[in-house]
Amino acid sequence: MTVLIARIALDVPLTKEFDYLAGDLVLTDIGRRVTVEFGNKLVIGVLIELVDHTEVLPEKLKAISFIHRETPALSSECLKFLQFCARYYHYPQGQVILQALPPGLRKPKPWKPRKTVKPKPKHSASHSAVHRHALNASQQKAADQVLQAVHAQRFETFLLLGITGSGKTEVYLKIAEGVIQLGRKALLLVPEINLTPQLEARVRDYFINVEVISLHSNLTGVARVKNWLRLFEPGPLVIIGTRLSILAPLSDLGLIVVDEEHDASYKQQEGLRYSARDMALMRAQNASCPVVLGSATPSLESLQQAIRHRYHLITLNERANSLAQLPQIRLIDLRHFSAPDGLSDPAFNALDEAYQRGEQSLVFINRRGYSPTLWCTQCGWSAGCPRCSIRLVYHLRAKSTRCHLCGWAQSVPRQCPDCGNSELRPAGEGTQKLEQTLRARFPLARLARVDSDTMGHSEGFTELRTALLNHDLDILVGTQMLTKGHDFPALTCVVVVNSDGALFSSDFRAEERLFAQLLQVAGRAGRANKIGQVLVQTYQPEHPLFQALIRQDYLPYAQYLLEQRQALGFPPFHYQAVLHASGSKAENVEDFLHRARALTGIPKNITVFEVVPALVAKVAHKYRFQILTQSSDRPAFHRFLAAWVDAIREKPQSKVQWMLEVDPIDL
């Protein structure tokens, strides 16, 4: 008699599945949650397949403890996608599959659903058009192109390059409307949880008679499970989610939109370090539906795909509000204006004029996307690596500068090698300091600081947005979370502080990110019928980045950056992966990586760099080192990575933790 064996994926750092006696499991249970005994405890697993053979004698196998038929099984399409993620990121399959479940369903106990009553529509369908804005000719043309693929149920990738205020969201909604009319589901990805309530309100207002759900980590455990289970039900649905929603069981999918596709928040930075933007392409291909990547400043990776005609490029070059004009951008040369408290006199004057007119202002501080390096305040020199075309990172404690690609290091120079100036410094201002300065200068102004310290939850950001729209605030001081997709009609003045930091970064993506960030934050000004102005404080106004920023012309500057990347052999022309390792003793970590580097042969078309400290070399008493590897041949690269990871796993380490990150965005 044949004994059926159940192959179960478990949330453990091992690449194999585990065999159990199938018991009452049948083929239709594949993808279903089961409770099994693993070691001396009960854990949740997912049934991957049923087989009639095993390397272990059946009588030595344990039985399934519980079959969770109270929740649906993951579809074969969903399992196929999650298995692809595991292969692509060289990550244990069981951990990928279990991460796709909401936390409430990762516990070894039955799910007891709560009875809920769906709210009745507030309006009739005949009134739904009241909440919709007519698209202009460019918007309608863009929507029509994507709708052709929607109706044909055909996978295509569209890169929607629309200037700030061009109405990309209205285009998304028009396309989603066509999906809903076909009875299918539309997924709208946003980079930040803070953006979800704002977009959700717009979507609910647009689709009065269609159910809209959200998927993000700020939901309660019960809400996450409830919304996750709703995805299995047939019928039209609009899903608004952050990066985790790309792993959800999306059936009858007719569209994926990745808003602000350039945003680094789409890349998970711990555990399974996946890119939701990149995985959206595979998900859409499996579902035979189009994917729209939208941004005013697309990533160079996406733009290069459009140049190669792998993506369809659609442009929106005018603001949706015909009365709104692009803001005027002005550079403030800090070589001629002092800014002892972070703000120059021209900046103070512009803020004061906007305040006197009863308009709102934003003081933006760029603290993201750069690593500290030494630079000369007199001539603009900064420490560069003689082996790599990147900046050296300044290590204060070691009093040295080091290249985080090749490992080359030198002691801190006493003076600038170009002009002899002895004033070499890292740059930076803080939001708290700027807040204090502005409160002293504008004691009667209503002021708010917006950063990760003050906006720890989405409700706080919703309250801030309401205050801005009600004109209960005059001046905002904030970081990058204010640059993404927000529309504040009364905001007319933007001042950018510390704009030079990224120009001295060791990260080759720093200039791309800075340009995108500045163009995005500039786009917050003058989105209604009032002309906006943007003042950018800089020591290097002649830099090509700032000259392109004044013209607000993304494509020529992006082409310039792509030419640099190609000459240097960086992404998108090469593919990269980083082997990270950490431990309580630096020598153990370094030794592990040196031995790992020698475990497998290195093909000619693959480069494996030396062991170097991580950008943040010590975290929570753990020393961190890494190895960068890259290649221009993606298939060969992944074959090498698979063999390398297998070789490392065969030599388990107790003193060192390690993981491989594919397509890193921060080195």
Q: What is the pLDDT of residues 429-473, one digit of tens each?
A: 556 678 888 999 999 999 988 765 565 555 666 777 788 888 899
Q: Are 486 and 523 in contact (CB under 8 A)?
A: no
Distance CA 572, CA 304 (A): 7
- The backbone torsions φ and ψ at residue 101, rounded to the nearest 5 degrees and listed phi first, read -85, 145
Distance CA 404, CA 578 (A): 12
In this predicted structure, the answer to whether residue 570 has a pLDDT above a threshold of 70 is yes
| CB atoms inside a 10 Å sphere around CB 246 | 27
- The backbone torsions φ and ψ at residue 317, rounded to the nearest 5 degrees and listed phi first, read -105, 10
Sorted by where each begins, the domain ranges of the chain are 5-105, 133-316, 328-370+427-565, 575-662
Residue type, 293: L
Between 530 and 273, whose confidence is greater?
273
Average pLDDT, integer, range 361-376: 67
Q: How far apart are the first and last CA of the chain?
A: 56
* Structure confidence at residue 90 (pLDDT): 97
Residue type, 51: V
| CB atoms inside a 10 Å sphere around CB 27 | 9
In this predicted structure, the answer to whether residue 618 has a pLDDT above a threshold of 90 is no
Residue 55, CB half-sphere, CA atoms under 13 Å: how many? 4
Between 197 and 184, whose confidence is greater?
184
Weakest mean pLDDT among 24-33, 555-564, 648-657 = 648-657
Range ranked top by mean pLDDT from 193-197, 395-399, 609-613: 609-613
Closest Cα partner for 174 from 186, 163, 162? 186
In this predicted structure, the answer to whether residue 49 has a pLDDT above a threshold of 60 is yes
Closest Cα partner for 595 from 643, 646, 641, 648? 648
Average pLDDT, integer, range 590-608: 92
In this predicted structure, the answer to whether residue 127 has a pLDDT above a threshold of 50 is no
Q: What is the pLDDT of residues 72-101, one digit of tens each?
A: 999 999 999 999 999 999 999 999 999 999
Is residue 314 classed as helix, strand or coil in its secondary structure? strand
Average pLDDT, integer, range 377-393: 80
* Cross-sheet strand order for the sheet of 360-365: 328-333, 533-538, 491-497, 360-365, 475-478, 447-450
Q: Are 538 and 404 in contact (CB under 8 A)?
A: no
* Structure confidence at residue 308 (pLDDT): 96
- What are the E-state strand segments in 527-603? 533-538, 575-583
* Structure confidence at residue 366 (pLDDT): 63
Average pLDDT, integer, range 313-322: 86
CATH of 328-370+427-565, one of 3.90.1150.10, 3.40.50.300, 3.40.190.10, 3.40.120.10: 3.40.50.300
The CA–CA distances, whole Å, from 20 to 30, 65, 103, 419, 599 equal 14, 10, 24, 72, 34
Q: What is the pLDDT of residues 400-434, one digit of tens each?
A: 888 776 778 888 888 999 999 988 876 445 566 78
Asked if CATH classification 3.40.50.300 holds for the domain at 133-316, the reply, yes or no, is: yes
Between 165 and 161, whose confidence is greater?
161
In this predicted structure, the answer to whether residue 621 has a pLDDT above a threshold of 90 is no
- Write out the two tokens for 54: 């095993």
Distance CA 13, CA 661 (A): 15
Average pLDDT, integer, range 378-397: 77
Range ranked top by mean pLDDT from 157-171, 357-371, 473-487: 157-171
| Residue 368's pLDDT band (cuts 50, 70, 90) | very low
CATH topology for 575-662 is Alpha-Beta Plaits (3.30.70)
| Residue 481's pLDDT band (cuts 50, 70, 90) | low
| CB atoms inside a 10 Å sphere around CB 395 | 15
Distance CA 632, CA 222 (A): 45
**Packing angle of the helix pair 554-568, 510-522 (nearest 10 deg):** 170
Closest Cα partner for 359 from 484, 533, 498? 533
| Residue 124's pLDDT band (cuts 50, 70, 90) | very low
- The backbone torsions φ and ψ at residue 94, rounded to the nearest 5 degrees and listed phi first, read -60, -40
Q: Are 431 and 365 in contact (CB under 8 A)?
A: yes
Distance CA 93, CA 104 (A): 20
Average pLDDT, integer, range 318-326: 75
Domain pair 133-316 / 328-370+427-565, same fold: yes
CATH of 5-105, one of 3.40.1440.60, 3.30.70.2170, 3.30.9.10, 3.90.1150.10: 3.40.1440.60
| Residue 121's pLDDT band (cuts 50, 70, 90) | very low
Q: Are β-strands 253-259 and 185-189 bridged in parallel, bridged antiparallel, or unpaired? A: parallel
Based on C-alpha coordinates, what's the Rg of the chain? 27
Distance CA 168, CA 179 (A): 17
Distance CA 413, CA 420 (A): 10
* Structure confidence at residue 457 (pLDDT): 52
* Structure confidence at residue 454 (pLDDT): 61
* Structure confidence at residue 414 (pLDDT): 87
Distance CA 570, CA 471 (A): 46
Residue type, 448: A
Q: Given the structure tokens 């000719």, which residue do they identify?
A: 137
- Write out the two tokens for 483: 């640059």
* Structure confidence at residue 577 (pLDDT): 98
| Residue 629's pLDDT band (cuts 50, 70, 90) | very high
Q: What DSSP character marks residue 473? A: -
Contacts of residue 389, defined as CB under 8 A and 6 or more positions apart, other chains included, come to: 508, 568
Residues of the chain with pLDDT > 70: what percent?
A: 90
Contacts of range 301-310, beta carbons closer than 8 Å, 24 or more positions apart: 301/571, 301/572, 302/159, 302/261, 302/262, 302/277, 303/159, 303/555, 303/558, 303/562, 304/562, 304/572, 304/573, 305/157, 305/159, 305/572, 306/159, 307/562, 310/157
* Cross-sheet strand order for the sheet of 622-631: 606-619, 622-631, 575-583, 657-662
Distance CA 79, CA 225 (A): 18
Average pLDDT, integer, range 13-34: 94
| Residue 117's pLDDT band (cuts 50, 70, 90) | low
Average pLDDT, integer, range 114-132: 48
In this predicted structure, the answer to whether residue 47 has a pLDDT above a threshold of 50 is yes
Contacts of residue 250, defined as CB under 8 A and 6 or more positions apart, other chains included, come to: 78, 185, 187, 231, 239, 283, 287
Average pLDDT, integer, range 281-304: 96
Q: Provide the b/e sequence for 340-351 (b: ≥16 CB within 10 Å).
A: eebbbebbbebb
DSSP class per residue in 529-546: SS--EEEEEES-TTSHHH
Closest Cα partner for 375 from 501, 498, 499? 501
Distance CA 216, CA 517 (A): 24
Contacts of residue 203, defined as CB under 8 A and 6 or more positions apart, other chains included, come to: 173, 176, 188, 212, 238, 240
* Structure confidence at residue 370 (pLDDT): 33
Average pLDDT, the chain: 88
